[in-house]
Amino acid sequence: MPLLRRKPFPLAELPEDLKLDEQVYQIRFTKEIFRDYHDYLKRLNLYRQRFWMCKVTGKTGLTYEEALVSERHATEKVQQLPKELMTPALRIIQYSMLPLKELADSIAEKLQLRLFVGAELFAKKGHGLCPCKILKVTQKEDDKFCYEVAWLDKNKNVGEKAEVSAEDLVQKKPLVSRNVLKSFIRESTYRNAPWVLHDALAKDHGISTEIPKELKGRVFFKDGFLICSKKRKNEELMEDPDNCKRQKLDGVGVEDSSQIKENGQQKDEPIKYPIDDLLVKPSPDDPVFTDRPSLSRDFSVPMCCMGDLLMVWDFCNSFGRLLCLSPYCLEDFESAVSHKDSNVVLLVESHAALFRVLIKDDDEYFSAVKKRKLKSKITMINWTEYLCDFLEMINVPELRNYEAIIKRGHYGLVDAKAKLEILSQLVNRALETSIFREKLDEFIEQRQALGATRREEALEDGRRRREEKQRLKVESESNEFVDGDEVHSANVLANNNHDIQNGDVGKNRNGEIESSAQNDILSKSGIKHSNHASKKTTKKLNSEQKEPIENGKEPFKKESPKQLKGDKDPSEKNNKEQRREYFERELEKRFIRRSPLGKDRDHNRYWWFRRDGRIFVESCDSKEWGYYSSKEELDALLGSLNCKGERERALRKQLEKYYSMICVELQKRSKDLMHKIALDDESVLRRSTRVRAPPRQNPANAFLRYVNKWKEE
């Protein structure tokens, strides 16, 4: 049984009062039965998470089904252990305190000395060693054994018999590998430190379940399970083994590591987000989440084949230039597939474009067409013959059932699901041709070149920002230095005037009057002592002091580096946006494969196609589809995503990345829809005034007016 958080996981119980004819949901690999589809889906998603552990091998990071397969394979290996060695091995395992590796080594070492009937090894014969098989073990005195063996040939056939002693037997390899012993230990026990055997297994092999004397006081039984009570910092844990509280998560008993008891008080430890979405619990600090908007499901084709519809349409539009097929909208393609006319131009041109690729590069299909001696040009009349040849080539029984209908010219009567399956087969076959492989290789190289260019521009932009930051820093430091010198000089002159007024003056050798304070300060500040220099400095300071006062500003006020950094040219930001949009457009032109935007907590996938605008939602089992088609629904979807979950966090990030682009396409789609409704109302008005509108001018029949403008003549 796979382990969850290293603990056994209980399966769901059978629903009560289950009727024989009741519709239920069953999980294939556990045989669990659920009445409610949401409960079934929740449990299935839990099993698909990669946090399950194989109980036998100890492998982690598996899904539940992978862990089951791992346990089955490991159990098959464990059964390789000879029955004669099981009981001695189990006796060594019971209540052992050794780690797994050391315990396996100890068992292997002790079992190496135990030879049993049926063991194959080597024995000395003449001057060499020959393979043999033990037939009988005879005990002699002084705990010595004698063995009767049969010699084996190259095919391991039994030959003549002989009697050898224990000293003549040689084992070139151990009887049991260490990995098998480790798996055997894990499968035989339900806990470690000490290792404890399952009660039924111990009883079958006659092994005592009584705790050894050396372990008494360190372990005890509770509810039929052995509990280890090692010395801990908190002595209350030894007295009360129930101190660790367990909480139930999604119906599963899981120990919550976020809640710990210390000194009799419960301490909450913060959970590190993001975590798996199914483990996220509501908390008071959560924002107010909006209700997830309901999906629109007004498809004209069966919902189960919406995936094929989107795949074929996206392929034909993405590689339209290579196929020589002009693009068409998704609604037109959907209407054409569900239409009952046998020669809808849109479908005929789509088939013909794919047929032309196969004729050029698919030897098998080219041989089939050549054998039938069909015309090289595919027309509205003979295109069904090419289609029948393709169905005969792929030989799918479900699709060949429609071959007779197509040959009679009634392609429109083919089921929409079969039409899309045929187109899917055509697309998959076309992707295998060398034409598409070469084109995809070319696109891959071009995308790599675009990525390299974008990285170089990003590195260059980062380098420029660092240089600009360094330049602003140097300028700010130089400005502060100049301002400091000017202020310092002003203070010097002010002090000199004050000293002269107070009579604190002296005479030099020439009899000139000089301030002693002025001499000291000017000598420290590095200003030359001369009447001319003093006058020049005073004049400069007076002029600089007058100017800011006249302008009504504070003196010596400079712009900070932050202010200079904030005054950026708006054209720089626009240029970055333009470059980013340019790279997005170029990458979109070199389409390789379509990936979903992300998944929500229930593993529903979200798809966005730029040529359609809608956001499609695919259920985890790919059986249900829906879509969002308005900006309000997009905003409500964003408001319903919980960023504490890994999947919804990634999905929200992608939606925010393409938000403006998606909104533009949604608004464009809304305008087209309003225009289409207006045209439809106008056609109704014409019919009401007895002026019949031509049937092909009806907006609902726009797909009938499709013309392949890129077709090669």
Amino acid 616: pLDDT: 96
* CA-CA-CA-CA torsion sign (72, 74, 76, 79): negative
DSSP 187-211: HHEEETTTTEE-HHHHHHTT---SP
Span of 146-160, 507-521, 571-585 with lowest mean pLDDT? 507-521
Span of 102-111, 326-335, 482-491 with lowest mean pLDDT? 482-491
Q: Which amino acid is at 172?
A: K
H or E stretch covering 392: helix 383-394
Span of 70-84, 157-171, 343-357 with lowest mean pLDDT? 70-84
pLDDT in tens, 640-650: 999 999 999 99
The rounded Cα 42 to chain-centroid distance in angstroms is 19
Q: Which residue has the higher pLDDT, 576 or 252?
A: 576
Across 84-98, 556-570, 599-613, 697-711, the highest mean pLDDT is recorded for: 599-613
pLDDT in tens, 216-228: 666 655 544 555 5
pLDDT in tens, 283-302: 888 888 999 999 999 999 99
What tokens appear for 288 in the block? 């107010």
Q: Flag whether pLDDT at 625 surpasses 50.
A: yes
Amino acid 142: pLDDT: 63
The rounded Cα 355 to chain-centroid distance in angstroms is 37
**Residue 402 pLDDT level (bands cut at 50, 70, 90):** very high
DSSP 166: G
Amino acid 189: pLDDT: 80
**Do 110 and 93 contact (CB within 8 A), yes or no?**
no
Span of 354-368, 414-428, 616-630 with lowest mean pLDDT? 354-368
Amino acid 572: pLDDT: 64
Q: Average of pLDDT values for 237-244? A: 43
Q: Flag whether pLDDT at 539 surpasses 80.
A: no
Amino acid 644: pLDDT: 92
DSSP 622: S
Q: Flag whether pLDDT at 509 surpasses 50.
A: no
**Do 382 and 375 contact (CB within 8 A), yes or no?**
yes
Phi-psi region of 290 (alpha: psi -120 to 50; beta: other; left: phi over 0): beta
Amino acid 683: pLDDT: 57
The rounded Cα 247 to chain-centroid distance in angstroms is 28
Q: Which residue has the higher pLDDT, 496 or 216?
A: 216
Amino acid 173: pLDDT: 64
pTM of the predicted protein model: 0.52
**Do 604 and 622 contact (CB within 8 A), yes or no?**
no
Amino acid 292: pLDDT: 92
Residue 319 main-chain phi, psi, to 5 deg: -110, 35
Amino acid 126: pLDDT: 75
**Residue 662 pLDDT level (bands cut at 50, 70, 90):** very high
**Do 372 and 386 contact (CB within 8 A), yes or no?**
no
Q: Flag whether pLDDT at 543 surpasses 50.
A: no
**Residue 323 pLDDT level (bands cut at 50, 70, 90):** very high
pLDDT in tens, 375-387: 778 889 899 999 9
Q: Flag whether pLDDT at 79 surpasses 70.
A: no
Q: Average of pLDDT values for 535-563? A: 42
* Strand order across the 598-599 sheet: 598-599, 605-608, 615-618, 625-628
Q: Flag whether pLDDT at 456 surpasses 80.
A: yes
**Residue 262 pLDDT level (bands cut at 50, 70, 90):** very low
Which stretches of 205-294 are DSSP H helices?
Answer: 236-239
Residue 506 main-chain phi, psi, to 5 deg: -145, 175
For residue 343, which of 400, 411, 422 has the smallest C-alpha distance?
Answer: 411
Find where tokens 């464009």 sit: 668
For residue 404, which of 381, 388, 419, 418 has the smallest C-alpha distance?
Answer: 388
DSSP 241: G
Q: Which residue has the higher pLDDT, 563 or 194?
A: 194
**Residue 112 pLDDT level (bands cut at 50, 70, 90):** low
- At 120 the three-state DSSP class reads strand
Name, in order, each residue with C-beta under 8 angstroms of 358's C-beta and a sequence gap of 6 or more.
365, 366, 390, 426, 429, 430, 433
Q: Flag whether pLDDT at 167 surpasses 80.
A: no
Q: Flag whether pLDDT at 503 surpasses 50.
A: no
Phi-psi region of 6 (alpha: psi -120 to 50; beta: other; left: phi over 0): left
Among residues of the chain, what percentage have pLDDT more than 70?
Answer: 72
Q: Flag whether pLDDT at 234 surpasses 60.
A: no
- At 599 the three-state DSSP class reads strand
Q: How far apart are CA 175 and CA 112, in angstroms?
A: 7
CA contacts within 13 A on the Cβ side of 598: 21
Amino acid 384: pLDDT: 92
